[in-house]
């Protein structure tokens, strides 16, 4: 049988596993929130560890805690940052909306680990979770600061580099396909000719703009609420605590974090997270459009459009031998659907900034971090297993282009819209070519040679 120890919080005693580093408030939260079994994401634990580490350094430099206490807290906090104590964070994401349970989870784990470092027994509070680890802080400014740090780090380490690689790949495909002519399509119907390189240049620009919007709209993450404590007034914190601590966090992460210019906005609203999530949604919409185009352009191989040849990465059917499906595009599209749904959740959470505090922060953190992770992995997989090996079927592109009636558009300046429309109807009805009908209608062969050249239709006329 497992052995236990008893710890107390302001509500009374709690029984805790003897070896657990967390304390009574964490144990109480585990009992209160047996909801999803999903703990706080690891990037959030890292961010909480960073805050506690640099808070201890600041408090020691301000003479508020001893060097011995600070060193023990810092060592324990570094272990949290490095992921060595992840199993000590069992609190469900569907918890108190301020994240107090998770902040106290971090305080208790770090306090008990620091206590053990000092050679004292767990639960003895030789290092106190509130008075020392949480000194100068409140869950109400620590938890939203941790969300900002976690999201900013994940964006810069994962998603933005993935988008940059995808942009390069699309640019390379645009160059590879620059001389391949194909039929354009609008309203799912044949339109005027286009170069495949032009199509892929459009995709490249979509990704470039998505990167720009995400970079711009996530800048609000650099403002940290730390220093506002309970309601933004900074009660019970040293005037220099926030600026010193945030400067140290910025130095370690290499990101330009700074103290919020208005702590009441920073704690009462979560608009920076809303803007970031919205840009993740926008990015997903662009990616969905591109992936969907690619799977339709690769449909077939014989009875669909078939202008693209999609790499075969796995058998496509349990019953139809030889079938290959656009699975990487489908995977990315499902990622995009999830991210769009996550944004709806984040938006609803953002509405709950009641008075001086938002009270739906843990689920906001979970959804935004999941969106960043899913997009990062989804983009990399699509890039490596689909886009890198994507080929254009030049023969198929040419065959479809030759059969298209949309080429008649080029005759409009010569014979007028109505006459050109009649030729197109006749060609469709009789199965004859536009050239033959136009010759019969009196258009000179030399003019037809010039006007019906598909390449000339892909650029504006001088």
Q: Which residues sit opposite 181 in a β-bridge?
A: 195
Choose the catalytic residue: 2, 3, 187, 462: 187
Are 6 and 13 a contacting pair, CB within 8 Å?
Answer: yes
Are 224 and 257 a contacting pair, CB within 8 Å?
Answer: yes
- Residue 138: active-site member: no
Cα gap 299→302, rounded to integer Å: 8
Are 317 and 192 a contacting pair, CB within 8 Å?
Answer: no
Determine the distance from the C-alpha atom of residue 118 to the mean position of all C-alpha atoms in its chain, rounded to a whole number. 41
Choose the catalytic residue: 17, 317, 428, 456: 317
- Residue 261: active-site member: no
Peptide bond into 220 cis (omega under 30): no
Three-class HEC string of the chain: CCCEEEEEECCEEEEEECCCCCCHHHHHHHHHCCCCCCECCHHHHHHHHHHHHHHHHHHHHCCCCCHHHHHHHHHHHHHHHCCCCHHHCCCECCCCCCCHHHHHHHHHHHHHHHHHHCCCCCCCCCCCHHHHHCCCCCHHHHHHHHHHHHHHHHHHHHHHHHHHHHHHHHHHHHHHCCCCEEEEEECCEEEEEEEHHHHHHHHHHHHHHHHHHHHHHCHHHHEECCCCCCCCCCCCCCCCHHHHHHHHHHHHHCCCCEECCCHHHHHHCCHHHHHHHHHHHHHHHHHHHHHHHHHHHCCCCCCCCCCEECCCCCCCCCCCCCCCCCHHHHHHHHHHHHHHHHHHHHHHHHCCEECCEECCHHHHHHHHHHHHHHHHHHHHHHHHHHHCCCEECHHHHHHHHHHCCHHHHHHHHHHCHHHHHHHHHHHHHHCCCHHHHHHHCCCCHHHHHHHCCHHHHHCCCC
**Residues designated catalytic:** 187, 317
């Amino acid at each position: 049988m497992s052995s236990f120890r008893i710890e107390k919080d302001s509500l009374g005693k709690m029984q805790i596993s003897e070896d657990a580093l967390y304390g009574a408030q964490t144990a109480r939260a585990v009992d209160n929130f047996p909801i999803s079994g999903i703990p706080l994401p690891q990037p959030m634990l890292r961010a909480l560890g960073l805050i506690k580490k640099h808070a201890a350094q600041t408090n020691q430099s301000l003479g508020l805690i001893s060097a011995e206490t600070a060193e023990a807290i810092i060592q324990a906090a570094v272990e949290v940052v490095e992921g060595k104590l992840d199993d000590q964070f069992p609190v469900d994401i569907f918890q108190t909306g301020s994240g107090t349970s998770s902040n106290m989870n971090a305080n208790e784990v770090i306090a008990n680990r620091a206590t053990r470092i000092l050679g004292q027994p767990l639960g003895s509070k030789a290092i106190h979770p509130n008075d020392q680890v949480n000194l100068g802080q409140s869950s109400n400014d620590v938890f939203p600061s941790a969300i900002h740090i976690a999201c900013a780090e994940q964006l810069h380490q994962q998603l933005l580099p993935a988008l940059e690689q995808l942009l390069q790949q699309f640019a390379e495909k645009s160059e590879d396909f620059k001389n391949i002519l194909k039929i354009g399509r609008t309203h799912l119907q044949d339109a005027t000719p286009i170069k495949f390189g032009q199509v892929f240049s459009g995709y490249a620009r979509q990704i470039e703009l998505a990167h720009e919007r995400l970079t711009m709209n996530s800048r609000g993450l650099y403002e940290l609420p730390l220093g506002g404590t309970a309601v933004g007034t900074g009660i019970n914190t040293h005037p220099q605590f926030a600026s010193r601590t945030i400067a140290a966090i910025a130095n370690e992460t290499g990101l330009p974090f700074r103290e919020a210019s208005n702590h009441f906005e920073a704690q009462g609203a979560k608009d920076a997270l809303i803007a970031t999530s919205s840009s993740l949604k926008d990015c997903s919409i662009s990616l969905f459009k591109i992936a969907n185009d690619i799977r339709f352009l690769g449909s077939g191989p014989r009875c669909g459009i078939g202008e693209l040849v999609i790499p075969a990465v796995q058998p496509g059917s349990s019953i139809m031998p030889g079938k290959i499906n656009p699975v990487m595009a489908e995977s990315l599209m499902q990622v995009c659907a999830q991210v769009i749904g996550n944004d709806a959740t984040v938006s609803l959470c953002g509405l709950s900034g009641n008075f001086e505090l938002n009270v739906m922060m843990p689920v906001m953190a979970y959804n935004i971090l999941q969106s960043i992770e899913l997009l990062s992995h989804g983009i990399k997989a699509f890039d490596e297993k689909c886009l890198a090996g994507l080929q254009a079927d030049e023969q198929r592109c040419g065959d479809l282009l030759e059969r298209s009636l949309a080429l008649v558009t080029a005759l409009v300046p010569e014979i007028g819209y109505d006459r050109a429309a009649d030729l197109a109807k006749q060609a469709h009805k009789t199965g004859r070519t536009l050239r033959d009908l136009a010759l019969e209608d009196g258009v000179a062969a030399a003019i037809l040679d010039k006007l019906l050249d598909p390449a000339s239709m892909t650029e504006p006329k001088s």
